[in-house]
Amino acid sequence: MAGVAVASYAEYTAQISSQSSSGFTLTVTGHAYHNKPLDVDLSVWGTASGDLKKVVELFVKGGDLDLEGYGSYSVSMGFGILVQSRHHIILGIKITSLYGGQTAVWILRGKTGNIVGKTLPVSFTASLVVLPDDRTLLVNVDLKGTIAATP
């Protein structure tokens, strides 16, 4: 059974980093805390490349962040690494106020699961992140969702 999961995962990472399918979208939702739980919705897109036996590099080209009570932010760029053999993913993204201005960088570390259809489940955590506008600190960020290859 484990061999089937590994084969599916290898096929997925081959798809996400192949020349014909070099794009990806990542969508996660969850919570962060600032005096109370806040809903978080994060969606990013970009390109992927790499050696499947080592790592797949994710290049974030854009995206959106919605945070309950604080509004929307733009993801202007980022970089990530997906390590196939360990089911690990790390993603660093640059968050900008929707109409420009201050920026903040979020570093999210996570795990990947087994492929479901054409998507790969991901979960991220961060103990502390900062909002760009007023430098509000958010703690215990916990996000879950999927990453999918796009043509």
pTM of the model: 0.84
The mean pLDDT of the chain is 85
Transcribe 12-38 into DSSP letters: HHHHHHSSTT-EEEEEEEEEEESSSEE
What domains appear along the chain, each with residue ranges and CATH number? Answer: 2-150 (2.40.160)
CA distances to 1, 46, 65, 93, 95 from 73, rounded to whole Å, are 42, 17, 5, 12, 6
The partner residues of 63 in beta bridges, in order of sequence, read 44, 75
* Tokens 């484990």 sit on residue: 2
27-75 pLDDT, tens digit each: 999 999 999 999 999 999 999 987 655 788 999 999 999 999 999 999 9
SS3 content of the chain, % helix, strand, coil (to 5): 15, 65, 20
